[in-house]
Amino acid sequence: MAAGALSAPDPVSPPWSLQHQLTALGAALPAGTRLLAVSKGHPAATVRQLAALGQRSFAESRLQEAIAKQAELADLAALDWHFIGRLQANKVRAVLRQFGTIHSVDSLELAERLARIAAEEGLAPAVFLQVKLRVDPSKTGLSAEDLRQLWPRLLGLAPLRIVGLMTLAPQGLSGIESQALFGECAALARELGLAELSMGMSGDWREAAAAGSTWVRIGSGLFGPKPCQS
């Protein structure tokens, strides 16, 4: 851990310091693991503050909220936006226009629709296929068997660029259990020749990073408690 970054007392002692959290996370993440700042529920002004501190990649899970925020931040051309929410069929075109990377592609039908509309829009989005490797009624995702079976068809879906796998751990796993789950997801990505892994959130990013995650998606652990309920 970043002892130096964590021990420096803040002269004004605000309740939450974005700079402190960003520095501490940056120091704690291994070299191959990047930080995706999950800004859902936080205002554009907060994203702007983080951008000024050097953070480029941000994730949103609700389209309407993202559109408004991105409009406010249109002057920051270098921001890299990722969509991590459940993607409804009727939102595909708008999501493609707003986001360069989509982490939540959980069915062949959705992937086919994305490919068709991306082609119409002249876009080549980066895509993570969402997998579900444990029984969990609250989440969606392809099983490992479904993914292996669909793989040849998914590979043919130009102009999508399938870059990796995304997974969410069920609530209540121990650290050992979540690390085992993330390890399985990493093995599956290797088997398919995929380089990227979107695994780990505020509560389990250490286990995910240890298992080789290339993107940890962190909201509350970076931004602190949400100003507005979402």
Ligand X SMILES: *Cc1c(COP(=O)(O)O)cnc(C)c1O
Q: Interface with ligand X by CB under 6 A: which residues?
A: 38, 40, 61, 84, 168, 201-203, 217-221
Q: Measured from the CB of residue 93, what is the shortest distance to ligand X in angstroms?
A: 21
Residue nearest to ligand X as judged by C-beta position:
219
CA nearest to 198, candidates 168, 162, 155, 159: 168
Between 79 and 218, name the residue whose CB sits nearer to ligand X. Answer: 218
Three-class HEC string of 134-192: CCCCCCCCECHHHHHHHHHHHHCCCCCEEEEEEECCCCCCCHHHHHHHHHHHHHHHHHH
- Which DSSP helix (H) or strand (E) runs through 105? strand 101-105
Q: How far is the CB of 78 from ligand X (least distance, A)?
A: 22
Least distance (Å) between residue 50 CB and ligand X: 14
Q: Is 229 helix (H, G, I), strand (E, B) or coil?
A: coil
Give whichever of 188 and 222 is closer to ligand X, judged by the CB atom: 222
State the nearest-atom distance from the C-beta of 217 to ligand X, in Å: 4
Q: Based on CB atoms, which residue is closest to ligand X, 157 or 215?
A: 215
Token output for 191: 């088997």
Name the residue nearer to ligand X (CB basis): 164 or 219. 219
